[in-house]
Amino acid sequence: MNTRKKSGVAAAKREKDLMRVQGKSVYRPFVYGSKAVLLPTDTSKRPPNTPPDHTHQWTVYVRGVDDADITHWLRKVQFKLHETYAQSQRMKEAPDQFEVTETGWGEFEIGIKLFFPPESGEKSQSIYHQLKLHHFGEDKEAAKERGDPVISQLYEEVIFNEPAEAFYEILTTDPASNARAKAGSKVAKAKQIRSRNAEIPEKEGSYSHAAESLEIHKLKEAQKIVDSLIAEEKVKLTEKEKELEDLKKLET
């Protein structure tokens, strides 16, 4: 009897937890991509048992912006490699880093499946990353010359529309980082604020407010050009309309 009552209470709690927070959308930013370096040809300097035809070592990853902790909303990541790799599906679960390091010779598309905490009630989401081993873009010759690693990284955001109550709690409070912050670590506190905040970081950085302001400035400039083009077209249209009027008058 008692157990039935208890399970009834638990079921009611589960139901409440899965209720959705109406009208709220929570955005969580992250970066994903790959970094590749050339392997030395000297076998003594290569990682042990590297097949002779492998030319590069690479890492594919999913991370928080500026390495912010994202494990409260991202629980597991599955990387689907090319079938030439043994066990091509690699599941990475926190506290492991969400990354896979391999050696190889070719570029291919990597499937990345994001898994959210069970209490979120959210389905997994898939994204795709094109592994890059060779330099690309404008600076590619110079980058190759310098022997830079080949980095291909993208910024992305997961949107949780009307998240489940329990998940909304998790998204907006983090007991682990709260505890660290309480323990007096300034870094932990700063990290907590950064990772808890759906906003773009204030500081300098590729996804900062400074970068955002620049982007807004560029968009405003572009808007001005578009506005002036529209104004020109309007003038032309008025002229054409007048011409048409005149022609009509001539006809009658």
Which residues contact ligand SLL (rule: CB under 6 A)? 82, 84-85, 104-108
Tell me the helix, strand and coil percentages in the chain, rounded to 5.
40, 25, 35
Q: Which helix (H) or strand (E) holds 127?
A: strand 125-130
Choose between 25 and 130: whose C-beta lies nearer to ligand SLL: 130
In the complex, minimum distance from the CB of residue 61 to ligand SLL, in angstroms, rounded to a whole number: 18
In the complex, minimum distance from the CB of residue 47 to ligand SLL, in angstroms, rounded to a whole number: 13
Amino acid (one-letter) located at 49? N
Choose between 54 and 189: whose C-beta lies nearer to ligand SLL: 54
In the complex, minimum distance from the CB of residue 98 to ligand SLL, in angstroms, rounded to a whole number: 21
Q: Which residues contact 154 (CB under 8 A, 6 or more apart)?
A: 31, 32, 33, 129
Rounded CA separation 59/128 (Å): 15
Rounded CA separation 9/5 (Å): 6
Choose between 56 and 63: whose C-beta lies nearer to ligand SLL: 56
Amino acid (one-letter) located at 51? P
Choose between 103 and 178: whose C-beta lies nearer to ligand SLL: 103
In the complex, minimum distance from the CB of residue 80 to ligand SLL, in angstroms, rounded to a whole number: 13
